[in-house]
């Protein structure tokens, strides 16, 4: 065991470095696209969850319970192997003509993460005094307009820190996309290990990248807390 020869040049130069760099690029693309779509969908589900229309509220509740309580890996496999059964033929044809593995991963990550984001946003909305909604309705705003212009801007501002935690989780969960052939960072690290038998170096490099992404996002959240929410750390 002690005779193992470390060779960091395997992952810091040459084609294997390029493989890892390519994996980082795909991970960032996958995460960024899924984050944007998950936020939009989560916002919609949160509004539906608080609707006065009972069927709409039930649909949103069922959505949350189903997707929050099933494993992400199962959902990835479902969209990859079973989506053609429920999606329109035109949509399936378009997906197959592009990068279907990437698209399936985006769909799964978006839907899974949106269920958690919806609850974070709903918690933020519930923290807003109900008198503000009543005042908006008294001023002639509809429920949707009240949410759009009065409640949601304040709620989203307050829920940025927990939302960022969901974004961090999504970035880390993107590694599961390797199971359906998406050539993201973990997939490429596995490829490097397979070709070089330098598993320690390959996965250490991948780990460092994931930690770096998390630290950068965490630092941005701390700046947001201090500059926008005026939350300062204790000395």
pLDDT along the chain (235 residues), means of 10: 78 92 96 94 92 92 95 95 85 85 95 95 87 86 83 81 88 95 96 92 94 88 73 48
- Spatial contact of 51 and 60, defined as CB atoms under 8 Å apart: yes
- Spatial contact of 76 and 170, defined as CB atoms under 8 Å apart: no
pLDDT of residue 230: 65
pLDDT of residue 232: 52
pTM: 0.87
How far apart are the C-alpha atoms of 85 and 92, rounded to whole Å?
Answer: 9
pLDDT of residue 95: 83
pLDDT of residue 186: 96
* Rg of the chain taking only CA atoms, in angstroms: 21
- Spatial contact of 152 and 136, defined as CB atoms under 8 Å apart: no
pLDDT of residue 82: 87
Question: Residue with structure tokens 């930690």?
Answer: 211
Token couple for 183 = 């050539």
């Amino acid at each position: 065991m002690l005779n193992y020869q470390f060779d960091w040049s395997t992952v810091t130069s040459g084609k294997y470095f390029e493989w890892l760099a390519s994996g980082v690029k795909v991970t960032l693309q996958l995460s960024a696209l899924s984050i944007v779509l998950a936020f939009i969908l989560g916002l919609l589900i949160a509004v539906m969850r608080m609707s006065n229309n009972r069927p709409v509220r039930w649909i949103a509740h069922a959505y949350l319970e189903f997707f929050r309580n099933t494993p992400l890996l199962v959902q990835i496999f479902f969209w990859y192997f079973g989506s053609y059964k429920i999606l329109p033929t035109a949509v399936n044809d378009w997906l197959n003509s592009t990068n279907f593995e990437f698209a399936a991963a985006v769909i799964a990550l978006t839907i899974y993460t949106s269920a958690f984001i919806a609850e974070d946003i709903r918690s933020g909305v519930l923290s807003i005094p109900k008198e503000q909604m009543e005042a908006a309705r008294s001023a002639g705003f509809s429920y949707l307009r009240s949410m759009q212009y009065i409640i949601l801007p304040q709620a989203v501002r307050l829920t940025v820190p927990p939302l960022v935690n969901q974004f961090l989780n999504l970035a880390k969960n993107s590694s599961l996309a390797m199971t359906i052939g998406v050539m993201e960072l973990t997939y490429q690290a596995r490829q490097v290990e397979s070709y070089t038998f330098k598993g320690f170096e390959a996965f250490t490099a991948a780990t460092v990248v994931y930690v770096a992404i998390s630290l950068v996002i965490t630092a941005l959240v701390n700046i947001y807390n201090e500059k926008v929410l005026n939350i300062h750390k204790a000395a």
